[in-house]
């Protein structure tokens, strides 16, 4: 156990500082402080000493240099059991500093709130981060409070342990300190990396949410991030690892539609999706696409759910529902199942970059944010699609983009009729999509087909046409594109080539 006899306090945010300072005084701890922190403590009527009184040197360069001085860092870094260190401290009149309390400049918040580079640069903390690293390095003798997140821990030390710390306490705080400092430096690097290309991958996320388990019960799982920025959970059990993976796929899909749309997701793929003029019709059409697979799925919509729609949805067992909002009476209906997870959207803003662990490293890519519009469409055939077919083709193209490769989807009247998902052959995906549609009694005559990648041969087009498909959309790019085009021309069918592949693995 080591007794805290002196503390250096230098914080940006003053939240709960009064509570901390009173406890320092109660434990007879001498307080050194800087700038605004000194003014705050003095206004409380509590004795504190300026860092300038310790260093005999003023704060200079507009406050950029306050604590960067041997008398400050010597007091922190001195090894209390090292005779040479103690001798030099005595020689240069350097007092021991046993506790450092720091709260860094809000760099990330500043980047998020302004594009003013001068303002951003000024929020790069120098003295504070140096104090954190110094105190953490010397955790054998010094306790470090690197952010207000550790205030509760400190308050407990001051109340329950009367201002004493164990080596275990100090080691824990040192780990927290390097967590704070490494995250802070990663954020700064991330900002500068947007200004100049540096070949390095650094990504730091605070906030761990334990999952019950990972993808399977024998795997550990956790989420790092802030889900509260994405949605508000209104009801239900804790969200699982697999729930989050499905939810991301669901949101990426539905966010690309402007019409009232419902989608049902199973294992990251849409088993049903439809757009209609009102919520209840959109729901019924989405469910009709595959009512068997919909069982236990994730429901997502870009509209507010009313009572009539909620009553229809409530007939199905499902894990999660995510919506723009809920009418009060609709919410009461959906809450009748205690474990059902009900989420309401807060934000549509997600990272434009994706990464995943592969082998002994990380793959990084831009997110596939391309959404084809009418202007992107290049008709490769003699036959032109009319406006109704074009609407279905664009709808199908969005759905296939969010379907595991090899992917084929068949659509009619902005309703998914069948999909071929994750097959090793595009022909298999085509046959599977047709079989699924027939399984649920859909008439494919007049339908359209979308492919996530080019047709290597004309076989998929021929198979689909014989089943009733009358229009196609695909990226193009095969050395044998002309085979598919010739088949369509021979049978008076329109085919659109977008020039954009949408593999999803």
Of 474, 452, 471, residue with least CA distance to 401: 452
Q: Does residue 137 carry a catalytic annotation?
A: yes
Give the whole-angstrom CA distance, residue 57 versus residue 36.
17
Give the whole-angstrom CA distance, residue 261 versus residue 301.
6
Q: Does residue 13 carry a catalytic annotation?
A: no
Residues contacting residue 100 through CB under 8 Å, at least 6 positions apart: 7, 8, 76, 131, 132, 134, 135, 142, 143, 144, 145
Q: Give the distance, in angstroms, between the CA of residue 454 and the centroid of all CA atoms in the same chain.
A: 32
The values of phi and psi at residue 244, to 5°, are: -65, -40
Give the whole-angstrom CA distance, residue 306 versus residue 317.
18
Of 27, 2, 31, 22, residue with least CA distance to 142: 2
**Read out DSSP for 192-246?**
HHTTS--S--------EEE-S-SSSTTS--EEES-GGGTEEEEESSPPPHHHHHH
**Which residue among 267, 284, 370, 438 is the active-site one?**
267
**Which residue among 14, 30, 137, 337 is the active-site one?**
137
Residues contacting residue 391 through CB under 8 Å, at least 6 positions apart: 414
Residues contacting residue 387 through CB under 8 Å, at least 6 positions apart: none
Give the whole-angstrom CA distance, residue 81 versus residue 100.
19
Cα angle value 114/129/164 (rounded, 5°): 130
Angle, helices 83-91 vs 70-77, to 10°: value is 150
The position carrying tokens 């549609």 is 437
Q: Give the distance, in angstroms, between the CA of residue 170 and the centroid of all CA atoms in the same chain.
A: 32
498 in Cβ contact with 400 (< 8 Å): no
142 in Cβ contact with 76 (< 8 Å): yes
Give the whole-angstrom CA distance, residue 135 versus residue 142.
6
The encoded tokens of residue 34 equal: 């800087």
Give the whole-angstrom CA distance, residue 37 versus residue 48.
10
b/e code 253-284 from CB counts within 10 Å (16+ = b): bbebbeebbbbbbbebbbbbbbbbeebbbbbb
Give the whole-angstrom CA distance, residue 270 versus residue 411.
12
Q: Which residues are catalytic?
A: 137, 267
């Amino acid at each position: 156990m080591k007794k805290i006899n002196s503390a250096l306090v230098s914080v940006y945010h003053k939240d709960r500082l009064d509570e901390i300072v009173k406890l320092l005084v109660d434990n007879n701890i001498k307080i050194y402080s800087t700038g605004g922190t000194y003014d705050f403590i003095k206004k409380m009527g509590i004795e504190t000493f300026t860092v300038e009184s310790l260093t005999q040197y003023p704060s200079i360069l507009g406050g950029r240099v306050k604590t960067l001085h041997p008398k400050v860092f010597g007091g922190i870094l001195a090894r209390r059991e090292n005779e040479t260190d103690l001798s030099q401290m005595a020689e240069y009149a350097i007092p021991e500093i046993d506790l450092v309390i720091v709260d860094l400049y809000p760099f990330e918040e500043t980047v998020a709130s302004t594009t003013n580079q001068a303002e951003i640069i000024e929020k790069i903390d120098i003295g504070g981060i140096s104090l954190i690293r110094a105190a953490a390095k010397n955790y054998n003798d010094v306790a470090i409070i690197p952010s207000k997140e550790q205030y509760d821990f400190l308050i407990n030390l001051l109340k329950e342990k009367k201002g004493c710390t164990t080596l275990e306490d100090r080691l824990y705080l040192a780990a927290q300190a390097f967590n704070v400092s490494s995250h802070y430096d990663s954020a700064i690097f991330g900002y500068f990396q947007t200004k100049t290309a540096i070949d390095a991958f650094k990504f730091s996320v605070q906030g761990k949410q334990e999952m019950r388990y990972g993808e399977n019960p024998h795997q550990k799982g956790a989420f790092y991030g802030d889900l509260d920025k994405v949605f508000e959970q209104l009801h239900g059990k804790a969200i699982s690892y697999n729930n989050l993976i499905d939810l991301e796929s669901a949101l990426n899909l539905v966010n690309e539609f402007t019409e009232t749309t419902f989608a049902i997701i199973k294992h990251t793929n849409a088993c049903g999706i439809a757009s209609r003029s009102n919520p209840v019709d959109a729901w019924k059409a989405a469910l009709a696409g595959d009512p068997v697979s919909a069982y236990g799925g994730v429901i997502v919509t870009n509209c507010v759910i009313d009572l009539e729609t909620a009553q229809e949805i409530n007939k199905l067992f499902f894990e999660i529902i995510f919506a723009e909002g809920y009418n009060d009476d609709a919410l009461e209906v959906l809450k009748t199942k205690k474990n059902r997870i009900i989420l309401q959207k807060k934000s549509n803003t997600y990272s434009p970059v994706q990464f995943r662990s592969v082998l002994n490293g990380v793959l990084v890519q831009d997110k596939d944010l391309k959404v084809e519009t009418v202007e992107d469409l290049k008709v490769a055939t003699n036959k032109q699609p009319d406006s109704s077919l074009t609407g279905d083709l664009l709808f199908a193209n969005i759905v296939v983009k969010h379907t595991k490769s090899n992917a084929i989807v068949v659509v009619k009247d902005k309703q998914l009729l069948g999909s071929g998902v994750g097959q090793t052959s595009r022909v298999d995906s085509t046959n599977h999509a047709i079989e699924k549609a027939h399984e649920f009694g859909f008439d494919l005559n007049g339908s359209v087909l979308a492919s996530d990648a080019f047709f290597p041969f004309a076989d998929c087009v021929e198979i689909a046409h014989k089943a009733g498909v009358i229009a196609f959309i695909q990226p193009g790019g095969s050395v044998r594109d002309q085979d598919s085009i010739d088949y369509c021309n021979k049978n008076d069918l329109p085919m659109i080539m977008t020039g954009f592949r949408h593999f999803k693995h």
